[in-house]
Structure 1
């Protein structure tokens, strides 16, 4: 079967757009082929800085003939109905339609629409211009004389203005070949703007810029390779990673891993060549994080560690050319730029150190956090108060927690954080240590932002935990107080991340932290309950990722006063353990039977069957199974209460399981809806007693399955 090869050759495509663009090209072309009636066996997209390429294997040579019957209006229908039918069916006259009879509806018109199949080349030639003109680049541009406004003095007679071709960067050529492996493929001819499709591509901009004629994908890849272009981005990534590792190892160093930088550099070069440079050792006095960010952001270079684990004064760069001098000039140029950038970083660092953190923090009085929530300084004061209150919960000293909180945001106005916002907290730690703050206070300044994502560790040192919790809880209660909550997929203040951070800190450190008392200091009862519900939703997401069932979380949160996240999780785990057993599943079945009977009878009678059943009536007129159930319920309730007081949730669940035999026997031998109204009411109250006993540990009505 024939194969299709497409290449869109342009000026440099931004690295961050390449992977998505390759996938978009694949999707748009293959979807278009299928929609036009063609099938294919496989497709793969590629991207380099100067080209998007797509190979589609096993494309059918021609779309199938299609015959379709379209039912129209009845014979004798109004003229307008007939006209609409003719337009939709593409018929010139109603005489071109046939008439069919329906025993119930009478005679009606039917259009027989026959669409002959088309050659794949014709379909591709029609499809590709549409794909190119409507390509979903995040940003694109127009260029050339045709893009000038039609009324501009720079415009020629053929100017298209805003109607001219848009592409991420100027599009230079289009390669489009189609044909089977056993024959010479042909050019699929079409035009986009002033570009005619052909069989020509181009090699490396500097080392092999000449035109290359291509037949199919099998010779396209090796010809590009010979012209110093590695087409596959994954192979470019592997080349960079391997060469960097080998070059560093040869010098006794180790590359500081940076998968994101490898991806970025692979999108900047078509022929990766890794080279090593150096900078003045004096710059190693700057904090490691500053050196890494400076070298990474400004020059897209990798830093190296020595055998002792400390940064060295060497770096690796990825060149796009095999230079005749072995890369000496390229290395020298990068060294000059990096030296200048590190010199700037050292200046910021030294200037920041000259001012105490407390004075930097005072500048936050002029920084607005949110129009309705005051300045950053006011926020810091709230966080400090809350951190001091939380300190006993995490076994921290209140004065240390408050001190760390007061300094936690002080590095925000500094020159270094202004240059590299990613270093907020990190620089605060360095400045705090330099001015003699306690180690745990300095570490808390850095760690209170954690966790910043699913893969980030949570703070585990007590002072850091107190400040991190206070920071996140102040954010959440503040935005709930002004009714700025996440909606749908929008969460501009990262409140979901803040709640998940609180959950992870609490659970991973085993903290007992009732939330409602903290919420009530700032929120009314209704708003506090709404925020707790938000936490329940975030907890579901967190536990679901670990395999827990969301309905069990609902069953526990439905109990009153469930605002202690650690205890909620332990109840959920115990409930899951109960339901994993046969006794638990059978008990759930019995609960549902009791609940269904109660719900039906309460609805019918218009009243609730709460209250204690008449013990004397049960002993005088009740069945043996009825008396046994009453005794077991009383025994189980006592056991459950004892276990709950000890926070032994597994024991409480195990005690509930003791209900099962007595409940089963009750349903087997006792008629709930007895003719004696007193017996009936008493038995319904007994069923309610079962329901209430089980609701002591979880709301089983919330459990699905």
Structure 2
């Protein structure tokens, strides 16, 4: 038998940024809880609104399945003596399972090997309704809530006070204790538009009944409604609404019955950098902004109200009155900040702590400036401009605007640098120093910005590692994982030929570390950054062995490493790859065992005794010559493609030639040939480490 289940938890307004994750966790937890009792169902629907979390589970088993238990006893030869009388073992089995000794002959089964005493019993399933209270309570208890609260005199804890609970299953209203309340069939509609209590008729009628009470319980439907209505309003003024996905989710979590409204503000505010106006509208008021066909900000905003008003203009006017002082503050900040140049603001950074053991933010800008100047030639930047950009790179942190809107760091730095008359590249570097901020974000577009971005991230990494506070587990307060991946993306994506080891050592010099700490820190930082390649390539679907085959060479140029990895990946797709990887492994093992022989010198063709030796030696010699220009050009793909031609000569060599012969000269000569063969491949990667699978 199957039945539909509805559970709704009614609360005070839930945290909007947590609503969706709570809804997903509730659905997942309930699903796991039911599965743990071997209860199956067709599908689960999630509902989430500001004052409620709900799930609707269709075609849920009304009873847990019967379960059979099997209790095996002793073998017959142990259970009965020679006279076929029950032994003590049989008596113990009978007592344990409450059987009469005279009935034991009815409890004999073969376990596949021998006859034994065996009792089978069937445990009848329990009604699902008896389990739901326990399953749901446990699910609610384990929801990912960082900080729970109590309310009234109750000792119950949840993210917000619980006001009601609805629990219906298979046509019956269930009365269970949920956070000290007894569940029933009474829900509530919209706080202002609804008409009070709503008696839920059935799980399937729930969504429509709440809709009639002016609550759209489907989170995704509210998202669609908001997105569509916001876009339509923007089109009315020949604009385009800029809908930030995170803001859209947050607004959907704030409104049970969303109604979009279009408002305007004074055109004079458009003289303020648009990012500042947008931050003010988005962060404080949760407004969507509008741009014109030229991507310029329009003097309009779209707000979403949680009510149907008889006089929408009154709500619009109210929002216009609220946003006016907000924008006026932004204009005031911009005017005041522009009166002090970024270079003059540097002194204020002396009192801003970067990290207790690493000094102030002013100290950091000194180090970043020096490192950016050193990196500049490698990225094609002017040294003096890179140094200047580094010096003023954090000055906007002590501006009023960034103090109010932290997300504008770098953005406002660029505007203030332009206002100060700084070189355009220096100004742009104020923004680009933070790039890339996340996966698929833009890379710095200017050489100066690239130099400062690399210097800033390397300085942080080296500094934090030097004081022993590198990330551990999920703890990464300085976002060093992100910084490391950003460095790799800049170098690889920007086609920048920079030895990371050299750059890290230069960064470490600025900290004036002890020789021991300098060496230790540089090694740790280099290893840490290059290990981020693993996650990068994993996301692309590349096997770990492909990266490890290159990593084993201990290289430190990310651009070069990436080129080799791409070449090895292409090589791994060749039909010869598996055999060559196995052959390289065999060669490597032989050479490792003979490592005590020392330097092997040149191959002597006069010592060849088998045609297979000569064929392999000739092939190796030819490829040795061909490989040199390919290595110089870093054309690793072509080099490995050429080396694939060695499969047959290598196979013949190992089939026909015994390497470890008694003759010392012949043996050593063959080892020298294998050494030359291995070097050919190791010039690109140690493919012996690859476990290429097709």
Q: TM-score, normalised by structure 2?
A: 0.88
Check 1:127–1:483 CA distance in 2 against 1; reply closer, same or farther (3 A cut): closer
Among residues 488, 494, 512, which one is paired with 2:473 in the alignment? 488
Residue 226 (1) aligns with residue 212 (2): yes
Structure 1 residues 608, 36: CA separation in 2 closer, same or farther (over 3 Å shift)? Answer: same
* Distance 1:506-1:227 versus aligned 2 partners, 3 A rule: same
- In the alignment, what sits opposite 2:628? 641
- Which of 198, 201, 214 in structure 2 is aligned with 1:215? 201
Map of 2:384 onto structure 1: 399
Change (3 A) 1:683 1:72: same
Q: CA deviation at 1:650?
A: 3.3
Asked whether the 8 Å contact 1:450–1:457 carries over to 2, the reply is yes
State the secondary structure of the residue aligned to 2:293: coil
CA distance in 1, matches of 2:215, 2:27: 21
Alpha carbons of 1:228 and 1:585: their partners in 2 closer, same or farther (altered >3 Å)? Answer: same
The 1:652–1:67 alpha-carbon spacing in structure 2 relative to 1, beyond 3 Å, is closer
The DSSP-based 3-state class of the residue aligned with 1:642 is helix
Q: 1:616 to 1:117 in 2, by over 3 A?
A: closer
- Correspondent of 1:138 among 134, 141, 146: 146
Asked if the contact 1:133–1:165 (Cα under 8 Å) also holds between the matched residues in 2, the reply is: no
- What does residue 457 of structure 2 align with? 472
Counterpart of 1:43 in structure 2 is 44
The structure-2 alpha-carbon separation of the partners of 1:66 and 1:594, relative to structure 1 and needing over 3 Å to count, comes to same
Q: SS of the counterpart of 1:15?
A: coil
Residue in 2 that maps onto 1:178: 169
Q: Offset at 1:613?
A: 5.6
Matched-pair contact (CA < 8 Å) for 2:640–2:681: no
Q: Tell me the matched-pair count.
A: 660
Q: What's the CA shift for 1:235?
A: 0.6
Once residues 377 and 667 of structure 1 are traced to their aligned partners in structure 2, the CA distance between those partners, rounded to angstroms, is 65
Alignment partner, residue 536 of structure 1? 530
Question: How far is 1:459 from its partner?
Answer: 0.4
- Separation in 2 of the partners of 1:337 and 1:245? 23
Take 1:205 and 1:39, find their aligned partners in 2: how far apart are those partners?
Answer: 36
Per-residue deviation at 1:669?
Answer: 2.6
Residue equivalent to 2:651: 664
SS in 1 for 2:61: coil
Q: Say which is worse superposed, 625-634 or 65-74, in terms of deviation.
A: 65-74
Q: Distance in 1 between matches of 2:25 and 2:357?
A: 42
Q: Distance in 1 between matches of 2:462 and 2:378?
A: 19
Distance 1:338 1:259 in 2: 22
Aligned to 2:87: none
State how 1:19-168 maps to structure 2 within 5 Å.
19-69=20-70, 96=98, 115-132=123-140, 135-144=143-152, 146-147=153-154, 164-168=155-159
Residue 607 (structure 2) pairs with residue 618 (structure 1): yes
Superposition deviation, residue 282 in structure 1: 1.7
Distance 1:656 1:11, change over 3 A: same
Q: Give the superposition deviation at 1:484.
A: 2.2
Alignment of 1:435-446 (within 5 A): 435-446=420-431
CA displacement at 1:406 relative to structure 2: 0.8
1:278 CA drift (Å): 1.5
- 1:679 corresponds to: 666
Q: CA deviation at 1:171?
A: 1.5
Q: Distance in 1 between matches of 2:322 and 2:309?
A: 19
- Structure 2 distance, partners of 1:374, 1:682, is 60
Aligned equivalents of 1:671 and 1:102: distance in 2? 60
Aligned-pair CA distance for 1:315: 0.9
The structural deviation recorded for 1:680 is: 3.2
Contact kept in structure 1, 2:150 and 2:158, CA below 8 Å:
yes
Distance 1:65 1:669 in 2: 66
**Deviation string for 1:474-497 (max 9, x for gaps)?**
112222222322223222211111
Aligned to 1:333: 318
**Who is 1:430 aligned against?**
415
What TM-score, normalized to structure 1? 0.87
Q: 1:438 to 1:26 in 2, by over 3 A?
A: same
1:568 corresponds to 2:561: yes
Q: Note the residue ranges of structure 1 that are not aligned, 5 or more in a row.
A: 77-90, 148-163, 180-184
Aligned to 1:117, what secondary structure does the other structure show?
coil
Partner of 1:364: 349
CA RMSD of aligned residues (A): 3.0
